[in-house]
Structure 1
């Protein structure tokens, strides 16, 4: 507002109400989480996300998992990565625990939550060390409380029995959770401590204890069995939406059926399962290596290409592999995997990535590039409208907000990332809410999709015989051919 106090003369002031220019955050950074025992601890502190902008920094990473996969990422033409180094444990289980990390302490996979604050960059793709394709077959996937019991003074013990006769069967370990307050004296939940494995039938639960109250009633419950998902992937499914990223993970690397079975344990719509692993030539010996870093490096290469964020990771030449750990026949094997949202490697005119469907049942968000495009636009809109926070609630500012959003969407449309979009004031805007400083904007846009299936129909046309005959007759009548 203009200064209305007395002043005799002319003076100029510059308005602070300027448009917010669209700022597209870096959507081409991959987060790598894993071990590298011989890394320089000064350059790569444990559980401290560190930016690596080029292959020249790899010497400080040593020769561990991180160094190998980041080198493969750069070998595929990928750009800068964020590295989070974790320490190897005394055994495989301890190492896996370090890889997964702790949400409260922001370690392991959860260190990705610190990238924006520490480095000013939110990773777009997450890749981690670990046997991400391992699942527990025939484990407890849910413990259902049928009746809560009553007059319990302590949590009853729970014992599982049965579970079928499969060799190697391990019964689950389940705890009863005693309620508090209004729910005191009852069991409010059953917690699966250990899911067990290889059960072919649902086990029976028996409850005992529960205190010495004379009229206590013990609860009842049942167990559902199925394939229990991988704990590393579970952590990725938690972190990925929190940072607006997708995670690339390797499958079991055994059979096509096992890869699809693994995919069915995934959820959240931000995991790209890849199977099988790749092969490298190590002194004449084929060695299986993770495929996820290969796909991540290629994805980074695509984002830097004219296609940009809306480009697909699929059907791109692979530079760093000598083969795949299992032969995938195109189109028979690859169609089965891709239809079930498992990306793979095919050998058609050289090794190439094939498939880009995320593990989701929501088909409108199936394509990896569509999810990435929406993430980029949502990030950009948040940054634009952050600049408008705490400005005055005026007609000019409302119009300016809408125009800033429209300008950003036009830029994305002109870059062929979206087909179109618009911004408008939402119906939730009412005087009672506006007076509290709340403004509601609606935004719509449509990311550019992919031509995943191109159908070609060929036809025969015997009329071409008539054309052939006419050509020959013309040559006889007017050309070099003569009839004797």
Structure 2
């Protein structure tokens, strides 16, 4: 817009009303959470996400721990950059797991992935971590349902669980009552499961004691719900990955196919790829079982960097860095059993070991494919970047028109790159003068990510009429061809 103040002569101003160019961030970066006790602390501080762009760049991590090996695997599979987070090693498994999990408030351990972009400038797209990610609690208390909230309690009552069956390995849960506020003051609004217990062959009896000195108080009543409980890595990944638009790749239990499926049923977050079984690598000539999440992460990074791009699948790709698998997966029987229930695996078919399966652990079938989720994440982030530049601009015809053109231009790029089948932008009827006067504008975008041909069905048929063709050909040879000469 013009400066309407007096200015004798010619004044030239370069318009700031320019289009916002499409910018796509790197989509193949892996976040690796683990240990490296011999690392140079100045280069790789504890719980500080650090960018590594090559295997050579990780030399100061040292060979001990898990990170160096995971980096080597990712790059060995053809992957690209990694962001590593080093946690303190401990020989005590419980302490080590606590270090790997870290803290959501201070963003340590696996939660350091939330700080990765702020520190390195790059957002990881796949998150992997050391630790026993394939464990779960068998028949623990998954939740507590309140049947009566109680009343007039001045403090949270003590919660006790008794019974739970006669399994010799039984452990009772640890529970904490949460007292309400405001209109729910004096009532228990929920019961938090701090330790689920395990091997409960029947629901334990829940009782409440205490709750303050008010003589009119009424204690609550509740029932326990028993089932398999996911490990804390799963809940951490379910909290982290949606915020940074990433997916978590984790190792399954590495025992049996049936237990791999049982483990998967403890997960439903939409961004976790379960992989089972683990892999075998020769270490100084000795076969050693290793987690396979880094293998899939490296393959995924390779696919992103190839002509397939972000919309390419991690499945059915040759694996370069392993010597075997910890449990033989027969194709197609075992593989179909696992894949149908959203467990990825490894098969040895058509010349080598291959990744097999790319369904995320979710009940939402629309978002179950890893590549579809990744494609939508890329487009959503790119659109956010484009429209960030429009925040606080004026409501003018030019700006609104340019917004629409910029969005549709981005959609065309993704369509031409074969990441989506098509899409469009439009202003919905929700835009109303009363909202627009308050600074609100609504823009709708639709697109459809390119899916994958996971299931190809071939039907073959017999046709005995080809014998007639055979006879016709022979008769032709007898009449005019070499058979006639021979006769």
Determine the structure 2 residue equivalent to 1:228: 229
Identify the match of residue 473 of structure 2 among 452, 471, 474.
Answer: 471
> What's 2:30 paired with?
30
> Which residue in 2 is equivalent to 1:192?
193
* Displacement of 1:435: 1.0
Aligned length: 484
2:445 and 2:186 map into 1 onto residues whose CA distance is 50
Between 1:445-454 and 1:209-218, the stretch displaced more is 209-218
Change (3 A) 1:404 1:256: same
Q: Which residue is 1:440 aligned to?
A: 442
SS at match of 2:483: coil
**Aligned equivalents of 2:237, 2:345: Cα separation in 1:** 20
| Separation (CA, whole Å) in 1 of partners of 2:435 and 2:154 | 48
Give the C-alpha shift of residue 210 in structure 1. 2.7
For residues 357-378 of structure 1, the C-alpha deviation after alignment (integer angstroms, 9 at most, x for no partner) is 0001111111100000000001
Tell me the CA shift for residue 8 of structure 1: 4.6
Report the TM-score, using the length of structure 2 for normalisation.
Answer: 0.97
Distance 1:5 1:96 in 2: 67
Mapped to 2, the partners of 1:370 and 1:439 lie a distance apart of 28
Alignment of 1:157-168 (within 5 A): 157-168=158-169
Q: How does 1:32-181 map to 2 (within 5 A)?
A: 32-63=32-63, 64-89=65-90, 91-181=92-182
How far apart are 1:234 and its partner, in Å?
1.1
Distance 2:113 2:144 in 1: 31
- Structure 1 residues 13 and 131: alpha-carbon distance in aligned structure 2, compared to 1, 3 A threshold: same
Whether 2:5 is the aligned partner of 1:5: answer yes
Deviations 1:274-301 (A, max 9, x none): 0000111123321111110000000000
Deviation at residue 61 of structure 1 after TM alignment: 1.1
Query: Alpha-carbon deviation of 1:481?
Result: 1.8
User: How far, CA to CA, are the matches of 2:367 and 2:318 in structure 1?
Assistant: 25
**Normalising by structure 1, what TM-score?**
0.97
Answer with 156-165 or 390-399: which moved more. Answer: 156-165
After superposition, give the CA deviation of every residue in 1:382-422 in whole Å (9 maximum; x if it has no partner). 00011111111101110000000100110000000001110
Distance 1:9 1:153, change over 3 A: closer
The secondary structure found in structure 2 opposite 1:481 is: helix
CA distance in 1, matches of 2:357, 2:216: 61
How far 1:2 sits from its partner (Å)?
1.4
2:401 aligned counterpart, secondary structure = helix
Aligned to 1:459: 461
Quote how far apart the aligned CAs of 1:157 are: 2.2
Query: What's the CA shift for 1:461?
Result: 1.2
Distance in 2, matches of 1:6 and 1:152, equals 74
Q: Give the Cα–Cα distance (whole angstroms) in 1 for the partners of residues 57 and 12 of structure 2.
A: 52
- C-alpha distance in 1, partners of 2:383/2:45? 34
The 1-side partners of 2:450 and 2:170 are apart by: 49
Describe the superposition over 1:299-350 as per-residue Cα deviations: whole angstroms up to 9, x where unpaired.
0000000000000000000000001110000000000100000000000021
Distance in 2 (CA, whole Å) between partners of 1:480 and 1:35 is 78
Structure 2: distance between partners of 1:65 and 1:441: 45
With 177-186 and 332-341 compared, the bigger mean Cα shift is at: 177-186
Match of 1:382 in 2: 384
- The equivalent of 2:319 in structure 1 is 318
Change (3 A) 1:118 1:166: same
d(CA) in 1 for partners of 2:16 and 2:214? Answer: 72
CA distance in 1, matches of 2:337, 2:166: 32
1:153-302 aligned at under 5 Å gives the runs 153-302=154-303
Question: Match of 1:327?
Answer: 328
Partner in structure 2 of residue 371 of structure 1: 373
Indicate the larger mover: 331-340 or 387-396: 387-396
| Displacement after TM superposition at 1:65 (Å) | 0.3
> In angstroms, what is the RMSD of aligned CA positions?
1.3
